[in-house]
Structure 1
């Protein structure tokens, strides 16, 4: 379980499923968004098992979903690493042989033309796969619900334990949709954090074990859905 600590509040627990953090304080939401995006703002600390996490490694910041995110940017670094895990020794040997053949041909051109060039002789399967322009399959997302559902599915298929962060996504989702997404996230072992600026003066709780709601009002009072049970 991850924990988001924002002074002076008790830590906000973020578990599998959907966690909602809302506030009427626009500055707090803005700073928190910056922190979760790249860790540059010092408004919060993200931890797990009492160990402070690097935000850029522990989270995948989707941000505002008024447009469909670039999923290749979100997941791109993982594609080749995941693919390599599924390559057996025979296939790795074939890739290395192909890599050697390509480099040998290029070296022959360099030597024949007395060119002042050099290339690496080391075999790097990740660079080889990058050359293939590995990308995620096309997906049609026609709503915020579709986007989050797709993220949950891909995160599950990649066995990614990152915290997925969406800003103001709750504006576009009904309570029923959030419950459906939370149930799917729970089943697929994915953590989703919905951060939103709200005009409400009270916590709006969604009554399901798969959703935890936190609300910070104008006076920086911290209300939690657990407090209402």
Structure 2
């Protein structure tokens, strides 16, 4: 009997499957082939290790993923991105509150017309909402994805209007400074979002794959732990 046929049969035997050749012939071959006996010992050890990994409790498997554990347990005060986003969110809420109680905050009159009361109220409500969501995203990073998209678009459009209004003399330097938390919030939201992105199923599987050295002339089969000869079935 050739070694590749014997090893295919032994691999099936380990997995509890039907052997392609009579087991007695396989045993006779093992008695006379030291290479196949060594191969069988290696495969048996690897198969036992795979079964132990498959039977490992989920909590124990999580303990082997330091990056995932870090993302779950990271607190705002231990991540400068989230701490900064929290501070910017509080600042944005303070700016909105100051504007809401009637402080001017650099609002300029354009062509003799002051900002209307309702438009000012809308601006205050929007500024307050942005500040609150920044604080929420700093505490719960899952919300940073949506916040990053909204703030990025808003900061881009707002920046264009600031340039246009500054050229027209319709905005003051003090008012421009009140927009700084929005720009910083957009940058920090993107950083927090990118920091907390979880890997996909394929990437997690690749990272958690145990470092198993296959015996000579063997490759991974269709099922985990089943080893097949590299030249296919010879039965």
TM-score, length of structure 1 as denominator length: 0.25
Between 1 and 2, higher relative CO (CA 8 Å, sep ≥ 6) is seen in 1
Higher helix share: 2
Larger Cα-atom Rg: 2
Which structure dedicates a bigger proportion of its chain to strand?
Answer: 1
Give the TM-score taking structure 2 as reference length. Answer: 0.25
